[in-house]
Amino acid sequence: MGVDKKQERKKVLEAFTRQGILDAAIGLLTRDGIQGLTMDRVAMEAGVAKGTLYVYFKNKEEILDATLDASFDPLIRELSVLLDDDRAPDRKLADFSLCHLRFFDEHGDLIRVLFFDRERMHSEKNHYTDSRYRTFVKRVADVLDEGGRQGLFVPLDSMKVAAMFIEANMGMIMQRIHDGISGDVEKDARQITDIFMEGLRQKKK
């Protein structure tokens, strides 16, 4: 077996092992919350030696961060496809809200643990400094700028309004999670976009 083949096989095995660890952590978090997540239990759940676990993650906090990132990857991919397609800017914003709320509704148990456990609430990490958050603010701002060029939206500071729009979505999501609301995401998504569209749309003379 050539060196390249060995390296490729090693990378595949490492990715498989890492994903198995994250899957184990997600299972523990969903069942027992963050208090039930320990390095020993993750290793046991994943079927790996504790020493192997430390090859991939230094501590529990790194596992939590990686789990949070992995949990959001499907949402990030779906939103990216949505923002890249050729639908109208106002349609993109409406579908962005619906996609956002629907994802959190479908993954409520895990998201509730990751967002509302005290240990996470006291974390120094902040979504305002997260590179993916900033990227999506810029991408929504581009949609707003495109709507302005098409005459759909009034002139505006697109970066500020994009941040307001994303925060409105997050606020609705947090309220739904806090209140234990499930289902009827279409209604709540429509409420967000209706309010924003009223202010965004260029008024006909």
Q: What is the pLDDT of residue 118?
A: 40
Domain assignment present for 192: yes
pLDDT at residue 132 is higher than 90: no
Q: Identify which of 72, 61, 165, 66 has the alpha carbon closest to the alpha carbon of residue 111.
A: 72
Domain assignment present for 30: yes
Q: What percent of the chain has pLDDT over 70?
A: 87
pLDDT at residue 140 is higher than 70: yes
Question: How many domains, the chain?
Answer: 2
Claim to verify: residue 74 and residue 54 sit in the same structural domain: no
Domain assignment present for 21: yes
Domain assignment present for 22: yes
Claim to verify: residue 48 and residue 90 sit in the same structural domain: no
Claim to verify: residue 78 and residue 54 sit in the same structural domain: no
Pick the more confident residue, 151 or 6. 151
Write out the residue range of the structural domain in which residue 79 sits: 69-205
Residue 44: CATH number of its domain? 1.10.10.60
27 vs 24: CA distance, rounded Å = 5
Identify the H or E element spanning 74: helix 60-84
Q: What is the pLDDT of residue 184?
A: 86
For 152-203, the pLDDT digits (tens) are 999 999 999 999 999 999 889 888 877 877 778 899 999 999 998 888 887 6
pLDDT at residue 138 is higher than 50: yes
Residue 121: pLDDT band by 50, 70, 90 thresholds?
A: very low
Domain assignment present for 183: yes
Claim to verify: residue 89 and residue 185 sit in the same structural domain: yes
Domain assignment present for 63: no
For residues 55 and 18, the answer to whether their CB atoms sit within 8 Å is: no
